[in-house]
Structure 1
Amino acid sequence: MSSAGKKVYITRRVPQPGFDILKNAGCEISIWDSDEAIPKEELLNNVPGIDGLFCMLTDPIDVEILNAAGKKVYITRRIPQPGFDILKNAGCEISIWDSDEAIPKEELLNNVPGIDGLFCMLTDPIDVEILNAAGLYTSA
C-alpha cells in the first residue's frame, strides 16, 4: 500500500526530518503551525477526511475527535493515554480505543514511540508483517 496521496494532519511543529519523511513519501500534509497545543475545535475542523494523524500526548484526542476523523484514520502519538490498551503487533505498539462510544475495536490506532510509528502509520499492516518475516524491518 503506497502512502502517496495520503492526507496526514500534524498537530504541532515537528523537526524537519520527520516532516521530510512524510513529504518524501508523497503524503499531503496539513499542520497546526504552532508550538502550542492545538485547540480541540481546530482539531475537529481538520480531522475529517484524513488518513493519518500525527499528534502529541497533550492533544485532546477523545471519542469526539476519533469519530470525526472516521473509521480508517491511523493515529500515531509518542506516549499512551488512559483509555488505550497496548498490544504488540508487527514490532509496533498498537492501541485500541476501549470505549463503547468510540469507533469499533477492530479499527486500530498506532501508538508508537520513535520513527517506526511513521512507518507503521503509512504502511499497510500486512506489508509490515511481510517485511518482518523477511527480516527486512527491525524496530529502531
Structure 2
Amino acid sequence: MPKTIYITRKLPEVIIEKLSSHFQVRMWDQEDVPVPREVLLKEVEDIDGLICLLTEQIDEEVIYKAQNLKVISNVAVGYNNIDVQAAARKGIIVTNTPGVLTETTADLTFALLMAAARRIVYASDYLRSGEWGAWSLMQLTGQDIYGATLGIIGLGRIGEALVKRAKGFDMRVLYYSRTRKPDKEQELGIHYMEMEPLLQHSDFICIMIPYSKEVHHLIGKKELSLMKKNAILINTARGGIVDEDALYQALKNGEIWGAGLDVFEQEPIRVDHPLLSLPNVVTLPHIGSASVKTRMNMAQLAADNVMNVLNGKQPITPVRAES
C-alpha cells in the first residue's frame, strides 16, 4: 500500500504530479484559506508525510494525533509554527527550505528599504489621488540611501546577501549577532556592534533573525527610543520580533522617521490595525520570497525532503531540535 502525504495548501501542479507518482496524496486545495484546525487534526491521523506552510500550527496536539507520521516538511525557512521538540520525541523528522530564497528575500528587503526611504508608495498614492498640483522644492522628500549607515540584526544567509546590495550603495554596514563573525567582517567589510550602539548609529535597521521566544519583542519601546529621529526600521523576518504597539507610537510621535514591514504579529494583519493608518509606513503581505522561481524551488525542496525520508534516505535540509 502506498504511503500517504497530506499537503496543507495547494502546491504547483508539477510538484503534486511528482509526489502522486510515488505516494497517495491528499491536499487542502483552497489557496487563500488556511486548512481548518479540525480538518488538519483529522487528516494527520493516518498519514506518513506532511507538507505544511507557516500558517499551520503543527503543535503537540497535531503531532500526537499523527500515528504514522515520519516527516514534517515546512515550505519556509522559519519553523516556529512547528513544535520541533514534540516531533523529536516521536521520532518525526522536521525539514525546512533554507538557501533557495536567500537572494529573493534580500532583494525584497532592500526594495522595502528604498520604498520606505523615498516614500514611494505614498508618492504614488499622492499622484493617483489627484493631490499633485505643482512641483515644489521640499515636496515628498525622503531619506538618502547612498552613503548611509545600515545596521543589520542577525547575520545569516539573507543578512549577508543584504550586505552585498548595501555595498553597491556605498553604505557603511554594522551588524549585531549573538555570535561575532570576524571572518565575515573581513570578507564583507562590515563592523560588529552590540545592539544598543548599533541602534544609535544606524540610519536603517534591518531585522534578519529567526523568530524564537527569546527574541519576542526584541525591538520595543526602549530600543525604538535609542534610534535616530531619521531612522527607518525594516522587518522582513517575523512580526513577533517587533512590539507593534510601541512601533506605532514611535512612528506616530516622530521618534523614528519610518518603517517598512513585510511581516506582522498576526497574519493577515487586520485592515483597521493602527499601523496601516500611518503615512510613514510601507506595508506588504509577507512576500519576501515571492518570486515565481523561488516559490517553485521552495515547493520542490519541501517535496524532495518528504520523498527522501519516506524512501529511507536522509532529508536534504533537516531542522535540528535544540536540547
1:50 maps to what in 2? Answer: 47
2:18 maps to what in 1? Answer: 21
Alignment of structure 1 residues 104-119 onto 2, 5 Å: 104=89, 106-113=91-98, 114=298, 115-119=300-304
1:82 maps to what in 2? Answer: 80
Query: Residues 42, 126 of structure 1: CA spacing in aligned structure 2 closer, same or farther, 3 A cutoff?
Result: closer
Alignment match of 2:30 (pick from 10, 18, 34): 34
Structure 2 alignment gaps of length 5 or more? 99-297, 317-323
Query: Residues 12, 72 of structure 1: CA spacing in aligned structure 2 closer, same or farther, 3 A cutoff?
Result: closer
TM-score by length of 1: 0.67
Task: Give, as a single letter, the amino acid of the residue that structure 2 aligns with 1:111.
Answer: N
1:121 equivalenced with 2:306 (yes/no): yes
More strand per residue: 1
Q: What is the DSSP-based 3-state SS (H/G/I as helix, E as strand, rest coil) of the residue aligned with 1:17? A: helix
Shift in Å, 1:105: 6.3
8 A Cα contact 1:71 1:103, kept in partner: no
Task: Give, as a single letter, the amino acid of the residue that structure 1 aligns with 2:3.
Answer: K
More helix per residue: 2
CA–CA distance in 1 between the matches of 2:52 and 2:302? 11
Shift in Å, 1:15: 1.1
Alignment of structure 1 residues 88-107 onto 2, 5 Å: 97-99=84-86, 104=89, 106-107=91-92
Query: Residues 20, 103 of structure 1: CA spacing in aligned structure 2 closer, same or farther, 3 A cutoff?
Result: same
CA–CA distance in 2 between the matches of 1:110 and 1:71? 17
Query: Residues 81, 121 of structure 1: CA spacing in aligned structure 2 closer, same or farther, 3 A cutoff?
Result: same
Q: What is the DSSP-based 3-state SS (H/G/I as helix, E as strand, rest coil) of the residue aligned with 2:45? A: coil
The 4+ residue runs of structure 1 with deviation greater than 4 A are none
Q: Which has the larger radius of gyration?
A: 2
- RMSD over aligned Cα atoms: 2.8
